[in-house]
Structure 1
Amino acid sequence: MSKYSVVITPSHWRHFQPVIPLAALGLSFACMPEAATSYLPEYSLLAVWVGVATGLALYLLRQGINTTPGHWHVSEDGEFQLSPRHEQPPPVWRVSEDSRVTWWGLYLVLHQHAKPAHRRWLLKGEVSEQNYRRLCRVLNRSNAKY
């Protein structure tokens, strides 16, 4: 089992992470058909939209944006491990069959025994080209097993 060392440098696009759901919400509000909004006054729809947008923005900002660089050790079997920062060894995460390779990045779903899944998008520019290809091979191999 060979391990690769993967350094992750977060993309500047991660700063726009809260904006995308808010823009989708605004677009859906603007594209609502007249039949859905005709029985309510316009100010009540605006009040509902502002309330939902504020709640969504607060939720997304509370979750935070991870812009700290990461360092992973990845095996060809689909095991991910954060680089150790302390004396004790870090936990080992396994790649799930729900992980996907897309044209803009990788969607990683990592599992550990009796713990909830860790889900993360890894954009193309956040790792080197060589490590991106390695991660794609690991995900394709793990998806082929199932």
Structure 2
Amino acid sequence: MSKYRITITHSPYRSLIANLCLIACLGIVLGSLSSAIWTWLDPFILIVVWIGASLLLIHQGVTSARDNTLYPFRYSILLSSNGEIRQITSPSHSTFNVENSRERGAGVGDATLRIHPASQLFPWGIYIAVAKVKDKWFDKSHSHFGWVLRNECSEADYRRLCRAVNCVRKGTHSRN
């Protein structure tokens, strides 16, 4: 069983993309308000506040991307040929944690997680879901591990992750 060490460094543009999506959602909400609401609110002031908040969010996203202050962490995982992932270094302030697996109390590197067929490949990145033990019959059999965007690891490592997800989705669990 071959193992590959994959180092993932989160892109600083994640916050900028999230801020742009938030601005677009708020714009859609403002545009879909009924005319009855507009009689209670002053449209000019509301649009000025929305434009000001948009500029503030864009400025925050651009400065964090330029200074690399919001996502300065990286983590490493071991990927085996049968679709198992083991986190070997812990990120400084990441949102996911290997202890979210069913192995409570396991330290970094102790928990081996298997890629679930619910994982997806998209043109912009990979959504990785890992298998988990179900507590109740109606629980999902997988949990969210993380997103890996196209520019967050080397091209060879990204292709390895893509092959692992494809093999797990096809049910072969072997990349040879």
- SS of the residue 1:126 aligns to: coil
Q: Which residue of 121, 140, 146 corresponds with 2:166?
A: 140
RMSD (CA atoms): 3.2
Where do 5+ consecutive residues of structure 2 fail to align?
58-69, 91-105, 136-141
Q: Percent identity?
A: 27
Distance 1:120 1:42 in 2: 43
Change (3 A) 1:88 1:139: closer
Is 2:121 the partner of 1:124?
A: no
CA contact (8 A) 2:88 2:108 kept: no
When you count strand as a share of all residues, which structure comes out higher? Answer: 1
- SS of the residue 1:93 aligns to: strand
Aligned to 1:43: 41
Q: How far off its partner does 1:110 sit?
A: 1.6
Residue identity in the other structure for 1:5? R
- SS of the residue 1:77 aligns to: coil
Q: How far off its partner does 1:84 sit?
A: 5.7
Residue identity in the other structure for 1:80? I
Aligned to 1:62: none
Count the aligned residue pairs: 129
Change (3 A) 1:6 1:28: same
Change (3 A) 1:89 1:69: closer
Aligned to 1:15: 15
Change (3 A) 1:19 1:113: same
CA contact (8 A) 1:108 1:121 kept: yes
Change (3 A) 1:83 1:119: closer
Q: How far off its partner does 1:26 sit?
A: 1.7
Distance 2:85 2:159 in 1: 15
Per mean C-alpha deviation after superposition, the further-off stretch among 111-120 and 3-12 is 111-120
Aligned to 2:73: 68
Aligned to 1:29: 29
Distance 2:166 2:150 in 1: 16
When you count helix as a share of all residues, which structure comes out higher? Answer: 1
Q: What's the TM-score, normalizing by structure 2?
A: 0.60
Q: How far off its partner does 1:145 sit?
A: 1.0
Change (3 A) 1:8 1:21: same
Deviations 1:1-55 (A, max 9, x none): 21110001111112325414422322312431xxx51222352895xxx8xx9xx
